[in-house]
Structure 1
Amino acid sequence: MSVKSVFVVGGASGIGLETARHFLSQGAATTIIDVNAERVRDAESALSQKGARLAALAADVRDRQSLDRAFAQGAGSHGGIDALVFTAGVLLPARLADITEADYDLTFDVNARGFWRCVQAALPYFPERGGSVVAVSSSSGHRPKAGNGAYAASKTALQFLAQTFSLELAPRQLRVNCVAPSTIRTPLTEKFAGGQAEGGFTPSAAPPLGRLCTTADIVKATAFLCSEEASFITGATIAVDGGLTAGIPLAS
């Protein structure tokens, strides 16, 4: 079954926006959900094209009621859901000894609980059998970095939630996977591009393959996991990181 209807959470910018653009170009009815209403309007304008089936909705992954309304509206317009792509996330660098409880809670509430809430909200609209869920995790979920512990822990939690969903939803043939990029230039990370941030956090340099990850790299991996070509892949986290988490590279 090809993807006829896709929901992209966090779809108004960065990886999410380009993911939505890809699926629209493939003819899929696409619903983007984002917390920022102004960005949602901008994304709707940027993605609108003749013949495209697009719904752009504002909802907060921390608010189950707003998510329920958005998923019901999008699924009603587009005849259900074939694929859900979760790209929402926050990055608040700080040393674990210094991070505030508010920032720690926000990081987990968006990056991990937000994913759990979205899958719960989407489940009634998937077909009885089939479908795909893909969450954008991070190489930090495999290799933590000083000054970024809460983010890394939240991404590890996200990956384990996805694995558990994959086991529990397997009887429905609903597949659940993650992609884990290394540092990528998006609105989430560009503010750290100039060097060290709070807590001593520094974005990763180029991995062994010699270049930074791109949005296109993530979109291609996500599209593959949503396709029939990945019909026997579930519970996996695919590292899209140029070998960053593979081990220690050769000395230059």
Structure 2
Amino acid sequence: MDNTPETMETKSRNIYEKFQDWILAKKNRLSHQKVDRSWREEDEYYTFNIGGFSGGTKDRPEFSARYYYEISQLIDVISEYDISAERSLEIGSGYGRVSPWIGRHSSDHYGVEPNSKVRKKSQKLYPGITWTGDRLPDLEFEQESFDLVVTWTVLQHIPPSLIQESIEEIERVTTEDAVVLICEETVGDAGSHTWPRSVESYKEAFADFTLIDHKTRTVEPTYPEHAGEIMIFKR
């Protein structure tokens, strides 16, 4: 066996290079790891596993891009229409993807999320937000409790049999001068847990509100479909 210094150095270098190759390959696998987008029906509502959401991105780089584009647009809309609130409510807040950004424009922000596992994670991450396990069409809040209500890709997952009752519940908990900001799918065919509805249908459903404006939802450029509309309603 050749154990000369030159041979040992070559062996050590080969081992080191193989180790570096293994580290690089692992990093590549992690960077392309798919986000868990699996949905399930639970106790008569549709929910997701932590790590994903309906129509989720293929990998973490796309998720980062989605987050950038969505939050940028959300902030722009809030700024453009000078939206602020004493008491705000986000329905279907999930693990708080957009919750703190809404909460920055409210003195007292509430997040409603029926998935207890997800909600517990949100409570730890954002203790400044009040979290409850309510769900539409039954919210445990008094009439005219909020001057801002937000749904972000939530109403699209409410089946036709419950959508009008759910919207009327939103109207019940909003004040006389409230703003309702929704971001929902508006085109395409219904799926197993998604029911796209046109802007016009939402305009008719929110009978107590006036549709101020709507904008195409902005997501990552690689998203292959229309991503929905952001709609701003005001009493």
TM-score calculated relative to the size of structure 1: 0.46
Structure that is richer in strand per residue: 2
Question: Highest Rg: 1 or 2?
Answer: 2
